[in-house]
C-alpha cells in the first residue's frame, strides 16, 4: 500500500512537472514573440502588411456569414426569452441593463472568440505545424529570418483586429435581431426597446467589448501559433497541434472572461 501511494504521488509530481514545464515554454515563447515584435525590421512592412490583411480577410471578412447567422439566432433566443420572462415577472425596467450585461459585455466577445478559435485558431495551428513538417520554419531559421516575425506577429495583429471588429459586429447583429423579433411578437415596442437599451448602454460597454476582443484575439493567435510552431516534425503531429491550440485557446478565453467578470462585479 505505501508503495502504491508513493507511485501515485510520483505520478502526480511528474504530471505537474510536465505541465509546469509547458507553461514555462509558453511564457518563453510569449517573451520571444514580444521581443521579435519590438525588433520588427522596417524593411518588411509591405510583406507584413500583406500577411496582416490576409489574416483579417480570413478571420473577419470570411467569417461574417457564419457570425451573422449565430448572432442572429442568439439575439432571437436570448432577447425574446428575456423579454418574455421580464413581462412575466415584472422587471421590464431592468431589461435593458440585463441585455447589455449578458449580450454586450459577456456573450458577444465570448461567442465571437469561440467562433474565431474554431475557424481561424485551428487554421493558424494547422498552417504553422504544416510549415514545420515541410521544413519551411527551419529553412527560415537557417537563413536568419525570425519565424516569430514572419509567421507569428502578423497573425497576432491580424487576429486582434479581427476579433475586436467581429465582437462589435456580433453585438450589433444580436441586439438588432432581438429588437426585430420582440417587435414581431408584439411583446415590447421598438421605441421602448431602444429606450431601455439607451439607458443601459454606457461607454464602458464599448470599451469592454474592444478590450476583450483584442485580448482574446492576441491570446488565440499566440496560443495557436505556439502549438503550431513547436508542434512536431511528423504529419501525424498536425492534428494534435490543432487540438492543443484549440483547447488552450478555449481555456484562455473562458479564464479571461471570468477574470473580467470578477473585476467588474465583485
Partner 1 sequence: MGFAAVLTTRDAVHPESGISNPESREAAVRLLGAVPPPPAFDWPGPLDLSIPSGLTTVIWTLPSLAMPLIRLCVGLRSPVHGRVWVLGQEAGLMSRFEGMTFRRRLGVAMQPGGLISNVTVRTNLMVPLLYGGLADMEQSLVLVEEVLGAIGIARWADRRPADVPPEVRQAAILARALVRRPELVLLEAPFRALRTKRGEELLKLCRERAGTVMIVETENEPWLFERADTLVTLDERGARLEGHEVGTS
Half-sphere CA count of 61, side-chain side, radius 13 A: 8
Do the Cβ atoms of 97 and 197 come closer than 8 Å? no
Helix (H, G, I), strand (E, B) or coil at 90: coil
- Residue 135 near partner 1 by CB under 8 A: yes
Is residue 25 close enough to count as binding partner 1 by CB under 8 A?
no
Which of residues 23, 43, 236, 266 is near partner 1 by CB under 8 A? 43
Q: Does 232 bind partner 1 (CB under 8 A)?
A: no
Interaction of residue 192 with partner 1, rule CB under 8 A: no
| Of the residues 15, 21, 41, 235, which one makes contact with partner 1 according to CB under 8 A | 41
Three-state SS sequence of 55-103: HHHHHHHCCHHHHHHHHHHHHHHHHHHHHHHHHHHCCHHHHHHHHHHHH
Residue 237 touching partner 1 (CB under 8 A): no
| Position 39 contacts partner 1 (CB under 8 A) | yes
How far CA 215 is from CA of 29, 54, 178, 236, 249, in Å, comes to 17, 20, 27, 31, 11
Structural contact between residues 223 and 22, judged by C-beta atoms closer than 8 angstroms: no
46 touching partner 1, by CB under 8 A: yes
Q: Would you count residue 136 as binding partner 1 (CB under 8 A)?
A: yes
Scanning 38-46, 98-106, 183-191, 208-216 for contacts with partner 1 by CB under 8 A, the matching segment is 38-46
CB of residue 47 to partner 1, shortest distance in Å: 6
Q: How far is the CB of 236 from partner 1 (least distance, A)?
A: 17
In angstroms, rounded to a whole number, what is the distance separating the alpha carbons of residues 150 and 48? 7
Q: C-alpha angle with apex 81: 77 to 82, nearest 5 degrees?
A: 120
Is residue 38 close enough to count as binding partner 1 by CB under 8 A? no
- Taking the CA of residue 84 as centre, how many other CA atoms within 13 Å lie in the half-sphere pointing to its CB? 9
Q: Which is nearer to partner 1, 12 or 139 (CB)?
A: 139
At its nearest, how many Å lie between partner 1 and the CB of residue 113? 26
Q: Which residues bind partner 1 (CB under 8 A)?
A: 32, 35, 39, 41-44, 46-47, 131, 134-146, 149-150
Amino acid at each position: 500500500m505505501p508503495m502504491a501511494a508513493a507511485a501515485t504521488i510520483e505520478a502526480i509530481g511528474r504530471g505537474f512537472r510536465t505541465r509546469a514545464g509547458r507553461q514555462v515554454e509558453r511564457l518563453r515563447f510569449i517573451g520571444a514573440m514580444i521581443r521579435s515584435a519590438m525588433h520588427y525590421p522596417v524593411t518588411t512592412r509591405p510583406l507584413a502588411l500583406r500577411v496582416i490583411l490576409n489574416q483579417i480577410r480570413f478571420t473577419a471578412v470570411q467569417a461574417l456569414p457564419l457570425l451573422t447567422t449565430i448572432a442572429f439566432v442568439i439575439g432571437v433566443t436570448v432577447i425574446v426569452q428575456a423579454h418574455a420572462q421580464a413581462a412575466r415577472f415584472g422587471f421590464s425596467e431592468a431589461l435593458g441593463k440585463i441585455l447589455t450585461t449578458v449580450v454586450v459585455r459577456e456573450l458577444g466577445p465570448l461567442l465571437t472568440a469561440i467562433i474565431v478559435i474554431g475557424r481561424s485558431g485551428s487554421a493558424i495551428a494547422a498552417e504553422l505545424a504544416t510549415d514545420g513538417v515541410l521544413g519551411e520554419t527551419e529553412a527560415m531559421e537557417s537563413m536568419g529570418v525570425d519565424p516569430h516575425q514572419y509567421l507569428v506577429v502578423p497573425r497576432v495583429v491580424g487576429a486582434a483586429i479581427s476579433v475586436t471588429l467581429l465582437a462589435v459586429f456580433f453585438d450589433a447583429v444580436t441586439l438588432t435581431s432581438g429588437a426585430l423579433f420582440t417587435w414581431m411578437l408584439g411583446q415590447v415596442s421598438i421605441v421602448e426597446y431602444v429606450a431601455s437599451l439607451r439607458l443601459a448602454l454606457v461607454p464602458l460597454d464599448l470599451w469592454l467589448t474592444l478590450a476583450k476582443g483584442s485580448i482574446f484575439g492576441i491570446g488565440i493567435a499566440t496560443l495557436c501559433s505556439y502549438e503550431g510552431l513547436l508542434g512536431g516534425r511528423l504529419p501525424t503531429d498536425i492534428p494534435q497541434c490543432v487540438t492543443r491550440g484549440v483547447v488552450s485557446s478555449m481555456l484562455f478565453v473562458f479564464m479571461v472572461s471570468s477574470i473580467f467578470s470578477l473585476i467588474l462585479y465583485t
